[in-house]
């Protein structure tokens, strides 16, 4: 039996060996071309942790990294400049007036357009083009965002490096297919619907219709566009005859996908080992609040209501009529303070119980016990932060996955939903009062918070482990099932079913044939007997 001191020493060195960065850092290319600031904030945590562990990172990105000076020599930015202008085609005010964004078909149309437009914009950037022309670059790994910029996976082929993707949207049917799973549509709803895993006949029909439409358009229109983009920007001038892999092949070659997925907002579904949940990765221990915000939210015993519609959508772009509704609700609830992310100058006649700030450290604010309600657009990152810190929510969804997130979490009992178009004072104030005055919402979000934080490992540690795993093994093809390359009819055993059906039909036909023959012989004998008697 080992002495106690020896066992303790072995344990300590085992832990240190598991947590100490690799002595030889990897060269990693990170591609985050989607110009959503909230998406980049998630990538930022991954980048900083990888830098801490001694890796060298080159990032193709829209935003500069907030970093300490000791990381400068191991971090290079290839900035996409200028940042893609969303409002050129979709004016900000339109988000407050339309209800079209509730349709999954319309959401898919917007996603496809965004994917192609932002990818072209990134690859046409002078900085990116100059970077792609550099010779002698070598990377051990490519980390790419998997959010409708599929042709950028070609960086993996360009540098002959394995790929890890980070998916901020959650699992989709096309991600399932790239890992060898055919999504069971009977209980797995399409990611842009508001359905649950318990669907009636009509809902299952609708789920199939949306998924088939998504699959058809993606395979026959959307992905061919990405293949054309990849051919245009990644074909080597020195070797014009080179045949590039298709985007579909690149998706199937992704080693590991890190997905913003958690059981609290996405019901159980089939997964492969390389599909890793990292929801909550962006939520870190809170920092001290700015003094003005801290003083404001602690100046009332009734609590503060926090309003933030995300990093993209500007509250200050709302129509005057909608703004008047908000201001009247603030006046009708003087017992509460309202902290509001407002991106322009002061509002005339602003009630004294409202504090406006162009930027607010959301995670730190939500962690403060004075916050009684979070009024949010329903973006998954903010919703996860609110659940982590136990804050009920009033959802005001605008686009994307926000409607689905809102309905799922409303069903969980942690908030209510309202539509911003044609909003009234009575509707808005009624929902606020109902949430803050009914303790059931707080009790349910406390329960969900415990589920959200009850994980075997920290999500950031989980993400870094798999990134370094793929680097150590120069890819992770051993994690992939043979189903990735299997035709759908073999996957579903339809070839065996067809052969079995053919054999069965042959047997039935043969038996029938023999019976008919036998009956025919008997009839002939009877007829011949009668003839003899005559």
Residue 20 reports pLDDT greater than 60? no
If you average pLDDT over residues 155-168, what whole number do you get? 95
If you average pLDDT over residues 266-281, what whole number do you get? 90
Q: With cut-offs at 50, 70 and 90, classify the pLDDT of residue 205.
A: very high
- Residue with token string 């949306």: 210
Residue 243 reports pLDDT greater than 50? yes
pTM score, whole prediction: 0.87
Over residues 110-140, the pLDDT tens digits come to 899 999 999 999 999 999 999 999 999 999 9
Over residues 340-362, the pLDDT tens digits come to 999 888 888 899 999 999 999 99
pLDDT at 264: 83
pLDDT at 231: 93
Cβ-defined contacts of 242-250 (< 8 Å, 24+):
244/154, 244/157, 245/154, 245/157, 247/150, 247/151, 247/153, 247/154, 247/223, 248/223, 250/150, 250/153, 250/154, 250/156, 250/157, 250/163
Classify burial at 240, counting beta carbons within 10 Å of its beta carbon; exposed 0-12, middle 13-18, buried 19 or more. Answer: exposed
If you average pLDDT over residues 77-92, what whole number do you get? 83
Residue 100 reports pLDDT greater than 90? no
> Residue 428: which residues within 8 A CB-CB, separation 6 or more?
325, 326, 329, 418
Over residues 225-234, the pLDDT tens digits come to 999 999 999 9
pLDDT at 9: 39
Question: Which residue has better confidence, 485 or 96?
Answer: 485
Over residues 380-413, the pLDDT tens digits come to 999 999 999 999 999 999 888 888 889 999 999 9
pLDDT at 314: 84
């Amino acid at each position: 039996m080992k002495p106690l001191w020896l066992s303790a020493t072995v344990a300590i060195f085992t832990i240190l060996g598991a947590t100490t960065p690799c002595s030889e850092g990897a060269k990693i290319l990170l591609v985050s071309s989607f110009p959503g600031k909230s998406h980049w904030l998630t990538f930022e945590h991954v980048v900083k942790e990888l830098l801490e562990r001694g890796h060298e990172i080159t990032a193709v990105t829209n935003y500069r990294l907030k970093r300490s000076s000791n990381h400068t020599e191991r971090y290079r930015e290839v900035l996409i400049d200028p940042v893609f202008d969303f409002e050129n085609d979709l004016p900000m005010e339109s988000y407050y007036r339309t209800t079209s964004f509730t349709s999954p078909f319309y959401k898919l149309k917007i996603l496809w357009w965004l994917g192609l437009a932002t990818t072209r914009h990134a690859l046409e950037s002078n900085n990116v083009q100059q970077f792609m022309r550099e010779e002698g670059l070598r990377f051990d790994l490519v980390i790419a965002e998997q959010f409708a910029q599929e042709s950028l996976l070609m960086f993996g082929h360009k540098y002959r490096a394995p790929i890890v993707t980070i998916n901020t949207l959650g699992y989709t049917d096309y991600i399932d297919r790239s890992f060898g799973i055919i999504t069971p549509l009977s209980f797995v709803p399409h990611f842009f619907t508001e359905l649950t895993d318990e669907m009636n006949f009509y809902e299952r029909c609708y789920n199939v219709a949306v998924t088939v439409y998504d699959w058809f358009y993606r395979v026959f229109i959307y992905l061919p566009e990405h293949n054309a983009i990849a051919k245009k920007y990644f074909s080597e001038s020195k070797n014009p005859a080179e045949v590039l892999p298709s985007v579909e092949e690149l998706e199937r070659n992704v080693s590991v996908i890190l997905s913003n997925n958690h059981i609290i907002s996405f019901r159980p579904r089939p997964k492969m080992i390389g599909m890793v949940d990292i929801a909550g990765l962006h939520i870190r221990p809170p920092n001290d609040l700015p003094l003005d915000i801290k003083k404001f939210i602690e100046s009332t015993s009734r609590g503060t209501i926090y309003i933030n519609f995300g990093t993209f959508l500007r509250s200050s772009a709302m129509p005057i009529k909608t703004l008047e509704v908000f201001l009247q609700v603030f006046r009708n609830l003087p017992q509460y303070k309202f902290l509001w992310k407002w991106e322009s100058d002061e509002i005339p006649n602003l009630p004294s119980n409202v504090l406006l700030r162009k930027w607010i450290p959301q995670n730190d604010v939500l962690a403060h016990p004075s916050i009684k309600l979070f009024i949010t657009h329903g973006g998954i990152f903010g919703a996860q932060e609110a659940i982590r810190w136990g804050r009920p929510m009033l959802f005001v969804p605008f686009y994307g996955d926000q409607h689905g997130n809102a309905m799922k979490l409303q069903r969980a009992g942690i908030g209510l939903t309202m539509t911003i178009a044609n909003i009234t004072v009575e509707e808005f104030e009624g929902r606020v009062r109902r949430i803050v005055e009914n303790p059931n919402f707080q009790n349910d979000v406390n329960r969900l918070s415990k589920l959200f934080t009850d994980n075997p490992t920290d999500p950031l540690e989980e993400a870094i482990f798999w990134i370094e795993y793929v680097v150590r093994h120069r890819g992770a093809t051993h994690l992939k099932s043979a189903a990735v390359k299997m035709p759908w009819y073999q996957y579903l055993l339809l070839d065996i079913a067809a052969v079995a059906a053919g054999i069965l039909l042959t047997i039935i036909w043969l038996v029938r044939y023999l019976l008919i023959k036998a009956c025919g012989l008997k009839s002939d004998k009877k007829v011949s007997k009668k003839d003899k008697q005559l």
